[in-house]
A and B are shown apart, each in its own frame.
Chain A
Amino acid sequence: MTAPIAANIRSLTLALAIAFLVTSIGVSYWTILASDQLANDPFNPRLIAASNDRPRGAILDRNGAPLATSEKGASGFVRSYKDQSLAQVVGYASLQFGLSGVEAAYAESLIGQDPADPISIWRARYLGERQAAGSVVLGIDEKIQKAAVEALGGRRGAIVALDPRSGAMLASVSVPSFDPNEVVDPRRQQAAMDKLNNAPEHPLLNRAAQGQYPPGSTFKVVTASAALESGFDPTKKLRVDDPYQADRSWGDYFVRSASHAHGLFDMSDGFRLSENIYFAQVGLQIGGGKLAEYAKRFGIGTAPKLDLPAAKGQLSGSGLLDRPTLVADTSYGQGELLVSPLQMALIYATIANGGVMPTPHYATGVRDAEGHVVRQVAPGAQGQVISANTAKTLTTMLVGAVAGPGAFAFGAKVPGVDVAGKTGTAETRPGEAPHGWFVGFAPAEAPTVVVAVIVENAPEGGVTAAPLGAQVMRAALGK
């Protein structure tokens, strides 16, 4: 009996010894083979700590105004953030909480190892020579950003302004915001982060790109696009009688008109007076399949290819428009629709841009320490979503929606410029005030700026939002 036990003990020992060998090889992988790569991983706190004695790259706006810099303090370099209204965009570089925003998205560039500069990476990795960090330049324009902050005036919500030709973000405001300087201050960081995580209004969330709201009437351009491209005649008059239901099977369910309208409407009237019943009928005529197809083409349900995190929104809970009432409600921007302000801005940018959707981006370039351009951030357009003709027809109707007789979005007028745009009053939960929207662009004939405004729980809805859009467009156009 002894012999087999001894044999068992020997083979057990051998197996364990082999396991020790394998473990040692595994440890050698991390300590030696993967060492260089991990040691230079931008999320490695040793690199963030190293910026105690070496400054981290600056984040600048399009005119070179600093948004985040590293400043020499008593115990090494300290990150300093200048513009609280860009807190969610610029983000923070914290030893404790890691990276967020542009600090995370361009982490390599900010330590002098931009992917477009392999020689610096190689030198840092194998020779231990670190380049002085360069800077990341954003498309944000201080002047437009300031106008957007003032327009929103502390009301909960978001404003996005972007250039429809390039997709560059010109302004991005998300209220409430926070002070990133507290998050990187070792003495205050834990209390600050606890407060931010527990705040019911989610100040860390970048509402501009990650907020999800029902779009309300601003979505009617999608219904109109689907209709126009399916051969629907926009001059054809449809009968509107408030309240509306397609047939008796809807039971006690009705679509309501904002102006309790009775009469004949064509598509321009529908936009100008924001007539829900008109668009509900258009949606039902072209069908849920067509509407769903165009919503998808405009990017609803897919996160925009932004260089920061962005929400994808939804067409409906199931992703389908399979009930007539859901088709009708979706046609005027309610139902189960959810979109981000950025997604709405991109839909209008597509119309402004002759039917081609630009790719949005916060950063426009990376520079080295001497200011030479290392890399341009200029993602190409995402492709033709609607025809140039459809875009032109829609633009004309959107100009009417701002400047036509009795137009709902009159508040968005900018003197001396044709503005194309649409308000929205998005119903939220019962008993809560609706969200107010304005999305538009200017100048209508050759647009250079698209603005999307959302004011959460604004009793006046779109009427509140439209003048805010005008303020931002004025700043962008220098009027």
Chain B
Amino acid sequence: MNKSQGAAPPASPPRWGLGGIAPRSRFTELSLLVWVGALAVLGFVAVVGAETSSFGSASILVPAIFIVLVLSLHVFLIARRFRGDQVLMPIAAGLTAIGLVLVQRLASDLLLQQLSWTIIAGGAFAATILIPRDLTALARFKWTWAFLGVLLLVAPLFPIIGREINGARIWVKVGPGSIEPWEAVKLLLVIFFAAYLEEYREVLSRSQRRIGPFPIPPIPYLVPIVAMWGIAMLVMIFEKDIGATALFFEAFYAVLGLALLLVGGFVAYQLFGHVQARVDTWLRPFDEDLRFGSGYQLVQGLYALANGGLFGAGLGNGMPDRIPVVWSDFVFDAFAEETGFAGALALLTLYLLFLYRGMVIALRAPTTFLQLLAAGLSFIIALQTLVIVGGNARLIPLTGITLPFVAYGGSSLVTNWMLVALLLRVSEVSNRMRGGP
């Protein structure tokens, strides 16, 4: 089966989707952005109002800068006569707005940094829309991406450049600050897996041997995947970041990945103390010996959730600041404390909509590579959300994953906006293939 056949459009047109044809004016996007702007302004006014009972210039200035930023991105897309999806960007912008409001609420001294990162993320978004010119060209350099990804992933392990923060060695020193290379790695790996699977998918799935109901793919083609698994396990051991490892491997080949990860996780649990401690904390955080020790953060997070109730304490009226490192690890619980179950559900719904739009784009994509790429990108955003929200709500052990777009952190924000741009690019390719206006 060759590429041109793979590029054939889906047999049946998608039955679901908001606005199949992209108008040049991007009116849908604009009208959604109006709501995003309102969200940013109201959020800042509420938080600053609750804290100081006066409206300082910061409460207007920051949302104003943010609104100018998203509007200029919108105008940029129009100017490019861009025909891609109009819903994803407003969702990402809405989540970013919530993130900025929460940084103001939880760690206002970090607000300026986060605002700067938001502007950089906007720039990265625009750059990804412009380059590369041909998206499918990405597939040709798959081994480069894999190599780069692995290099970035192990970079924190090296002396001098690596850095350990809060017990996890997942940072690389850059100038005065530090970045989390993992964030870029996840993009590179999705691209690699999409390209790799496009090429070998047939061989991998057309298998003679089976173990029970599971087909065993031919060994040589499994090597890169198993090698990735091995590296993931090594990274888990040395970088003490279970979260990144979970995402690393599940980045695309979900089922096989999950099985291997469970095996690896079980072995790691048996062998490594910090994995056991995480699981132990998850199982009994309220016990006397843990509630002021390793379980402290989780227990404080659960108190915050409990204080939320149905409609929340109101922005600025809860006590989420009792949770250590709340602005990066526990933003979900902080948001739920002040906006209640209703707010938490709304937030989860935004991610679900993101997933839905991303998967619609994947289904409509003209080539296998683009399909796998869009599905992989949407998948990691959804998985990351589930892993951290599940950790915050004590459904699964807590990991160091951050809530996409919302949690404080520059590396994550920049790469997630690049991810949105890639999804938009895929949708644009389909729209052009379809010969829309």
A and B from one complex: yes
Chain A residues with CB under 8 Å of chain B are 1-6, 9-10, 12-13, 16-17, 19-20, 22-24, 26-32, 34-39, 41, 43-46, 49, 95, 97-98
- Which of B310, B382, B390 contacts A31, CB < 8 Å? B310
Contact status A31-B292, CB under 8 Å: no
Contact status A24-B345, CB under 8 Å: yes
Query: B55 at interface (Cβ–Cβ under 8 A)?
Result: no
Chain B residues positioned under 8 Å from A6 (CB to CB): 10, 363, 371
- Which of A12, A22, A37 contacts B379, CB < 8 Å? A12
Contact status A31-B355, CB under 8 Å: no
Chain A residues positioned under 8 Å from B375 (CB to CB): 9, 12
Chain B residues positioned under 8 Å from A3 (CB to CB): 10-11
List which B321-353 residues lie within 8 A (CB) of chain A: 322, 336, 340-341, 344-345, 348, 351-352
- Which of B356, B383, B389 contacts A27, CB < 8 Å? B389
List which B371-395 residues lie within 8 A (CB) of chain A: 371-372, 375, 379, 382-383, 386, 389-390, 393-395
Determine how close the nearest CB of chain B comes to the CB of A254; give it in whole angstroms. Answer: 43
Q: 0/1 per residue, B9-33, Cβ < 8 Å to A?
A: 0110000000000000000000000
Known contacts A3-B11, A5-B372, A46-B319, A30 near B305 by CB under 8 Å: yes
Contact status A32-B310, CB under 8 Å: yes
Contact status B309-A23, CB under 8 Å: no
Chain A residues positioned under 8 Å from B422 (CB to CB): none
Number of A-B contacts (CB under 8 A): 126
Tell me which of A23, A31, A35 has the highest count of chain B C-beta atoms within 10 A of its own C-beta: A31
Contact status A98-B10, CB under 8 Å: no
Chain B residues positioned under 8 Å from A24 (CB to CB): 344-345, 348
Contact status A2-B11, CB under 8 Å: yes
Contact status A38-B303, CB under 8 Å: yes
Determine how close the nearest CB of chain B comes to the CB of A453; give it in whole angstroms. Answer: 30
Contact status B336-A31, CB under 8 Å: yes
Query: B6 at interface (Cβ–Cβ under 8 A)?
Result: yes
For the complex, what is the distance from the CA of A448 to the CA of B5, rounded to whole Å? 97
Contact status A16-B355, CB under 8 Å: yes
Chain A residues positioned under 8 Å from B195 (CB to CB): none
Determine how close the nearest CB of chain A comes to the CB of B209; give it in whole angstroms. Answer: 20
Chain A residues positioned under 8 Å from B10 (CB to CB): 2-3, 6
For the complex, what is the distance from the CA of A41 to the CA of B303, rounded to whole Å? 9
Chain A residues positioned under 8 Å from B303 (CB to CB): 38-39, 41, 44-46
Query: B368 at interface (Cβ–Cβ under 8 A)?
Result: yes
Contact status A17-B393, CB under 8 Å: no
For the complex, what is the distance from the CA of A23 to the CA of B394, rounded to whole Å? 10
Contact status A32-B309, CB under 8 Å: yes
Known: A2-B8, A32-B341. 20 other contacts (CB 8 A): A1-B5, A2-B6, A2-B371, A13-B356, A16-B386, A17-B355, A20-B352, A23-B389, A23-B390, A27-B345, A27-B348, A27-B389, A27-B393, A30-B305, A31-B306, A31-B340, A36-B306, A43-B299, A45-B322, A46-B319
Determine how close the nearest CB of chain B comes to the CB of A34; give it in whole angstroms. Answer: 6
Chain A residues positioned under 8 Å from B300 (CB to CB): 45
Chain B interface helix/strand/loop/mixed: helix
With both beta carbons as reference points, the residue of chain B lying nearest to A20 in the complex is identified as B352
- Enumerate 9 A-B pairs (CB-CB under 8 Å) in ascending A order: A1-B6, A3-B10, A6-B371, A13-B356, A20-B386, A27-B336, A32-B310, A32-B341, A45-B319
Chain B residues positioned under 8 Å from A46 (CB to CB): 303, 307, 319, 322
Chain A residues positioned under 8 Å from B310 (CB to CB): 31-32
For the complex, what is the distance from the CA of A44 to the CA of B368, rounded to whole Å? 52
Chain B residues positioned under 8 Å from A12 (CB to CB): 254, 359, 375, 379
Contact status A34-B359, CB under 8 Å: no
With both beta carbons as reference points, the residue of chain B lying nearest to A4 in the complex is identified as B205
Chain A interface helix/strand/loop/mixed: helix
Q: 0/1 per residue, B34-65, Cβ < 8 Å to A?
A: 00000000000000000000000000000000
Determine how close the nearest CB of chain A comes to the CB of B76; give it in whole angstroms. Answer: 30
Query: B291 at interface (Cβ–Cβ under 8 A)?
Result: yes
Chain A residues positioned under 8 Å from B386 (CB to CB): 16, 19-20, 23
For the complex, what is the distance from the CA of A28 to the CA of B340, rounded to whole Å? 9
- Which of B5, B11, B306 contacts A34, CB < 8 Å? B306
Chain A residues positioned under 8 Å from B6 (CB to CB): 1-2
Determine how close the nearest CB of chain A comes to the CB of B309; give it in whole angstroms. Answer: 5
For the complex, what is the distance from the CA of A19 to the CA of B310, rounded to whole Å? 21
Query: B223 at interface (Cβ–Cβ under 8 A)?
Result: no
Contact status B371-A5, CB under 8 Å: yes
Tell me which of A13, A43, A49 has the highest count of chain B C-beta atoms within 10 A of its own C-beta: A13
Contact status A27-B368, CB under 8 Å: no
Q: 0/1 per residue, B305-321, Cβ < 8 Å to A?
A: 11111100000000100
Chain A residues positioned under 8 Å from B362 (CB to CB): 9
With both beta carbons as reference points, the residue of chain B lying nearest to A45 in the complex is identified as B322
Chain B residues positioned under 8 Å from A44 (CB to CB): 303, 306
Contact status A30-B394, CB under 8 Å: yes
Chain B residues positioned under 8 Å from A31 (CB to CB): 305-306, 308-310, 336, 340-341, 344
With both beta carbons as reference points, the residue of chain A lying nearest to B341 in the complex is identified as A31
Contact status B306-A1, CB under 8 Å: no
Query: B211 at interface (Cβ–Cβ under 8 A)?
Result: no
Query: B202 at interface (Cβ–Cβ under 8 A)?
Result: yes
For the complex, what is the distance from the CA of A35 to the CA of B302, rounded to whole Å? 9
Determine how close the nearest CB of chain A comes to the CB of B91; give it in whole angstroms. Answer: 14
For the complex, what is the distance from the CA of A32 to the CA of B389, rounded to whole Å? 16
Determine how close the nearest CB of chain B comes to the CB of A274; give it in whole angstroms. Answer: 40
With both beta carbons as reference points, the residue of chain B lying nearest to A14 in the complex is identified as B359
For the complex, what is the distance from the CA of A41 to the CA of B340, rounded to whole Å? 19
For the complex, what is the distance from the CA of A49 to the CA of B351, rounded to whole Å? 34
For the complex, what is the distance from the CA of A189 to the CA of B93, rounded to whole Å? 41
For the complex, what is the distance from the CA of A1 to the CA of B9, rounded to whole Å? 11
Query: B1 at interface (Cβ–Cβ under 8 A)?
Result: yes
Contact status A49-B319, CB under 8 Å: yes
Contact status B382-A16, CB under 8 Å: yes
Query: B201 at interface (Cβ–Cβ under 8 A)?
Result: yes
For the complex, what is the distance from the CA of A27 to the CA of B343, rounded to whole Å? 11
Contact status B306-A35, CB under 8 Å: yes
Contact status B372-A27, CB under 8 Å: no
- Which of B292, B302, B351, B394 contacts A20, CB < 8 Å? B351
With both beta carbons as reference points, the residue of chain A lying nearest to B319 in the complex is identified as A46
Chain A residues positioned under 8 Å from B356 (CB to CB): 13
Chain B residues positioned under 8 Å from A36 (CB to CB): 306
Determine how close the nearest CB of chain B comes to the CB of A438; give it in whole angstroms. Answer: 33
For the complex, what is the distance from the CA of A45 to the CA of B304, rounded to whole Å? 10
Chain B residues positioned under 8 Å from A41 (CB to CB): 303
With both beta carbons as reference points, the residue of chain A lying nearest to B366 in the complex is identified as A2
Contact status B308-A22, CB under 8 Å: no
With both beta carbons as reference points, the residue of chain B lying nearest to A22 in the complex is identified as B395
For the complex, what is the distance from the CA of A41 to the CA of B362, rounded to whole Å? 47
Contact status A1-B292, CB under 8 Å: no
Determine how close the nearest CB of chain B comes to the CB of A51; give it in whole angstroms. Answer: 13
Determine how close the nearest CB of chain A comes to the CB of B98; give it in whole angstroms. Answer: 16
Contact status A30-B379, CB under 8 Å: no
Chain A residues positioned under 8 Å from B345 (CB to CB): 24, 27
Chain B residues positioned under 8 Å from A10 (CB to CB): 359, 363
With both beta carbons as reference points, the residue of chain B lying nearest to A40 in the complex is identified as B306
List which B205-255 residues lie within 8 A (CB) of chain A: 205, 254
Determine how close the nearest CB of chain A comes to the CB of B400; give it in whole angstroms. Answer: 18
Determine how close the nearest CB of chain B comes to the CB of A309; give it in whole angstroms. Answer: 9
Chain B residues positioned under 8 Å from A19 (CB to CB): 382, 386
Known contacts A23-B386, A31-B344, A98 near B292 by CB under 8 Å: yes
For the complex, what is the distance from the CA of A6 to the CA of B6, rounded to whole Å? 12
